[in-house]
Amino acid sequence: AADVDAYHAALAAAPAHTALWVMIETCAVAARLDAVAARAASTRLAALVLGTNDLAKEMRARLTPGRTPFQSILTASVCAARAHGLIALDGVCNEFRDLGLFSAEAAQGLEFGFDGKTLIHPDQIEPCNAVFSPSAEELDWARSMVAAFAQPENAGKGAIRVEGKMVELLHLEQARRLIAIADMLGG
């Protein structure tokens, strides 16, 4: 956490939009994720980035396709990021020629709640965008949910039925986020 403060101070003369991204690549940082992420309240900290290669070395863990040794840190990283309003980025996939493995790892990151994935090769851009971009089906569902909540008869309701499913305001928030992502990506 002290390092975040030091880097924040070093950015004093940098443009206001310059942000800090913390790499989670040591066991010491992994053990203090919440304290590090909490520095976002008073610094330019904007993102937590998982550094699985360095973390594997420190943990003496193996980088396996299912990333079993890292599942707890994947979850903890996303939770710390969400608790403090930060972006969460999944670590790199070293097998840059195996786009099937990359896509599976990116999909796993999405399932854990990561906002995106760090890349090491240009060939990873397209599959990464495919995984982290909302699908047409997801967008249709999101738009129908937003439209349903906008109906006058649903004003002020915390839960409604959309296409036979019960949805709550938290689902509406998720739907709006998906639409915003699609809009940002030009979809």
Distance, in Å, from the CA atom of 76 to the CA atom of 45, rounded to the nearest integer, reads 17
Residue range 2-132 in CATH 3.10.450.50: no
Low-confidence ranges of the chain (pLDDT < 50): none
Which runs of E-coded beta strand occur in 16-59? Answer: 20-24, 45-50
Question: What is the predicted pLDDT for the residue at 3?
Answer: 81
The model's pLDDT over 42-80, given as tens digits with 9 standing for 90+, comes to 889 999 999 999 999 999 999 998 999 999 999 999 999
**pLDDT attached to residue 69:** 95
The CA-atom distances, in angstroms, between 106 and each of 1, 45, 50, 129 are: 28, 24, 13, 10
Query: Residue ranges of the domains in the chain?
Result: 2-132, 136-184
What confidence score (pLDDT) does residue 5 get? 80
pLDDT of residue 136: 94
